[in-house]
Amino acid sequence: MAQFKQKKLIAILAPLGLIGGMALSVEGFADSHNRYAIDASKGVVKNSAGECWFTVGGIMEKMEACGDMVSVDSDGDGVTDDKDMCPGTPRGAPVNAKGCPLDSDGDGVPDYLDKCPGTKAGAKVDKDGCEVMKPMAKMEKVVIDNILLFDFDSAALKGGANDVLDSSYAKFKGNDAVKSVLITGHTDSIGSDAYNQGLSERRANTVRDYLISQGADASKLQANGAGESQPAFGNDTKAGRAMNRRVEFNVMMK
């Protein structure tokens, strides 16, 4: 190829009497100045044989008119079609070196469509790239309001209380959908707030311990006390106070 260019330049320069006055070798000139000559309208200058001319100061871009293979970038993403692994990328969409849309947070939604960039790794997202929040767990309350559970000022189970607890716990025992069970103890209004708070906690723990002894999963049972703060009945009567000495199960479902 270099010899061809050399002969072409010699053929061009010889009639002009310029060969002898040039200090540079023609071959070195051709190798260092492979630039196409263009006219004022940016068109390639050709000789009478239809060959493109080379000149110092011309353009080095490949020219299809000169027989060069010119790479095309059909989708305009900056990656030519011969290297584009994802043709047809929307205009303006940021792409990687392979011409594929960037997905900076790796959520499966390309950046140009992602309305929630920076989603944490592994998060489940919707079509807009926004995290899909898990629905809040359902809470089911099972109230054990049998007045036989506790005597006044006592955290010990009364006779017959075991049957009541077994019957109540059977409603959700062995249910895989149960995430946890909150056991809350209550008292009537007689006594100080601090004392009744402690008494309610002891009642809740008594029930928890009994259920564990019957094979309940301890990791799913939590006990706390509400003291006298959540009466179910009026504390102005003996019957009402007896009904307030109770335990409630709050069951959290998955």
Tens of pLDDT, residues 157-197:
888 888 888 887 887 777 777 888 889 999 999 999 999 99
Q: For 165, which DSSP code?
A: H
Query: Model-level pTM greater than 0.85?
Result: no
The predicted-structure confidence for 20-56, as pLDDT tens digits, reads as follows 444 334 444 444 456 776 777 667 778 877 788 676 6
Residue tagged 């070195």 (tokens)? 28
pLDDT of residue 212: 93
pLDDT of residue 22: 41
User: Does 128 score more than 50 pLDDT?
Assistant: yes
pLDDT of residue 142: 58
User: Does 137 score more than 60 pLDDT?
Assistant: no
Neighbours of 248 (CB within 10 A): 20
Residue spans of the domains in the chain: they are 2-66, 139-253
pLDDT of residue 139: 61
Count CA atoms closer than 13 A to 237's CA, side-chain side.
Answer: 6
CA distance 200 to 207: 11
Query: What is the token pair recorded at 179?
Result: 């995430």
The yes/no answer on whether domain 139-253 falls in CATH 3.40.50.10440 is no
Cα→Cα distances 212→29, 155, 173, 216, Å = 95, 17, 12, 5
Question: What one-character-per-residue DSSP string does 197-223 give?
Answer: HHHHHHHHHHHHHHHHHTT--GGGEEE
Cα→Cα distances 122→131, 132, 137, Å = 10, 11, 21
Contacts of 104 (CB under 8 A, 6+ apart): 111, 114, 117, 118
**Whether the Cβ atoms of residue 11 and residue 19 lie closer than 8 Å to each other:** no
pLDDT of residue 70: 64
